[in-house]
Structure 1
Amino acid sequence: MYARNDKLLTYEPAIEGRKRIEPAINPKRAVKSPFFSSTTHPTVTDPAVVPVTVTPSPSSAKKRARPPRGAVSGLPIPPLSASRFGLIQEELADDPFRVLVAVTFLIRTAGKVAIPVFYELMGRFPGPAALAAADPAGIISLIRPLGLSAVRCAAIQKYARAWLSRSPTRDKRYGVKNYPLPGDGRHVRTGEEFGPEGATGAARALGCAWEIGYLTQGPYALDSWRIFCRDVLLGRATHWTGKGSADPTFQPEWMRVLPKDKELRACLRWMWFREGWEWDPLTDERQPLREELRKAIDGGHVGYDDHSSLIILDQQLEDLS
């Protein structure tokens, strides 16, 4: 288990009944991916070992308090050979408007509750034109089980009307404040219009102006957009994972996002595993993926502790040899 300080992760002492697994390879210097830099020129920092611990068997484990709400992903970690992690954003990545609607449903609501209602709404109002013209009372009635129905309805119809009048393009970005970190974007106005990142004078808004900044200022929506939609819109790749890029040094947008949402973090951690790295979502530091952890992931023997740190279940350790 770990906590963040000003520079590196610090790790709490192992609790009774747990055994820490040391790295299977000689520790290498951790690599930190700067916010807008290529992975071909990484920044090297002091080493930080990502904790992989072993849980005690159920008979010997002490009863622990429930993890804080929103701290631990509710999705299982798929094997590295899987085609996707399991988020609805992956499924909807080719339809950015639906991504925005889906994340509106997922705010403060579990996916198993929100996703069926989302698909029911899309079945009745399949696109921005239908949603913009819909009677708000009909939408509110349909989504009432999710809570905040009037607020969600207003957001959805705002997206729909704005999308019809001005859908996102690669040539325009709009100022966003306090993203990705609180205090960011102080020198831009909310919604201020900028050209593409490579345009003259665009450096002033680098990292604080986004193609959907006129639609939303919400971190979860912006993170989802950047991860699953931005590279395709900008013509950098043909798939959100970075596939289809003609540039061999291309770094997909998802590699530059540090989301706070637990499910987005879990998805990106898995994506980094597939690239051969153990990535820390708090510090953006990474180290080579250890063989015992890779085997545990592919064998379905990895989970999370109450603080969202990865653990390998002790009853499966014999399978790792």
Structure 2
Amino acid sequence: FLNRTRGPVAIPVLFKLFELYPTIEDMASANHEDIVSIIRGLGFQNQRATKFIALAQKWLESPPGRGKRYRKLNYPLKRDGADVAPDEVVRDEADQGGDGQRDTRVAWEIAHLPGVVSSTAADEVGYEPEWKRVLPQDKELRAYLSWKWLQEGSVWNCENGSRKKADKEMMKRAEKGGVAFDGGDGHLIVMDIQSTSAGVHGLQSVRKAGFSLNCT
């Protein structure tokens, strides 16, 4: 949603879509034209609607999980994934009760999902969520990850992935909840989401988080 679209425009539409299609199953069975009508104002509505539905269907068919990785050619570095076949599933034997040898080829838990760079939910001890390992180029994803890392106590460099410890003042700005996006001037914008048990009901305040994205 935030690709090629400003946050304040895209986010209300995103949460409207979440209200109408609250589960993956709902999205997988959605009518393409209904999705197009909801997101028409964002542009690229036909391509986006197709991708949303395809993503949900692929998730149901093959949900991400520990021990199953797929190639993303040339990500994050050139030639990464070249030694993995397009439809191959890289299985980590150490996670599958095998001989304890991990397949070190570069592959990702969610690379088989159409158009997605995100995190994989996992509760296993020692498992590192994928959002901690990616270096997205999209400015909105960079803003979001800067905010996520700040919640973890780190100031994150979006160019090389390096981190340094955040001071107390920075940590005060890492508030829970809401949505973060690039305000266009290098500063992070935090938008609060008003939610209840009945779902999302709109947007509250929009404010600068008070720090710049660290991409140098």
Give unpaired runs (5+ residues) of structure 2: 175-181, 189-216
Separation in 2, partners of 1:299, 1:152: 33
Q: 1:280 corresponds to which residue?
A: 157
Q: 1:188 corresponds to which residue?
A: 84
Aligned-pair CA distance for 1:120: 2.0
Equivalent residue letter for 1:284: G
Q: Percentage identity across aligned positions?
A: 37
Q: 2:28 corresponds to which residue?
A: 132
1:113 to 6, 9, 21: 9
2:133 to 248, 256, 260: 256
Q: 1:252 to 1:142 in 2, by over 3 A?
A: closer
Give unpaired runs (5+ residues) of structure 1: 1-104, 237-244, 311-321
Q: 2:142 corresponds to which residue?
A: 265
Aligned-pair CA distance for 1:280: 2.5
Determine which structure has the larger strand proportion and give its number: 2
How many aligned positions are there? 177
**RMSD between aligned residues:** 3.5
Separation in 2, partners of 1:137, 1:305: 31
Contact kept, 8 Å, 1:176 with 1:189, in 2: the verdict is: no
Q: 1:197 to 1:118 in 2, by over 3 A?
A: farther
Matched, 1:142 2:42: no
Q: Which has the higher contact order (CA 8 A, sep 6+)?
A: 1
Q: TM-score, normalised by structure 2?
A: 0.63
Equivalent residue letter for 1:170: R
Separation in 1, partners of 2:93, 2:2: 30
Contact kept, 8 Å, 1:176 with 1:191, in 2: the verdict is: no
Contact kept, 8 Å, 2:90 with 2:103, in 1: the verdict is: no
Q: TM-score, normalised by structure 1?
A: 0.45
Q: 1:174 to 1:296 in 2, by over 3 A?
A: closer
Equivalent residue letter for 1:212: I
Equivalent residue letter for 1:282: E
Q: 1:113 to 1:195 in 2, by over 3 A?
A: same
Structure 1 or 2, whichever has the larger Rg, is 1
Aligned-pair CA distance for 1:151: 0.3
Deviations 1:34-85 (A, max 9, x none): xxxxxxxxxxxxxxxxxxxxxxxxxxxxxxxxxxxxxxxxxxxxxxxxxxxx
Deviations 1:235-283 (A, max 9, x none): 33xxxxxxxx5x6xx7665443333233333344445555555442223
Equivalent residue letter for 2:108: W
Q: 1:299 to 1:268 in 2, by over 3 A?
A: closer
Q: 2:51 corresponds to which residue?
A: 155
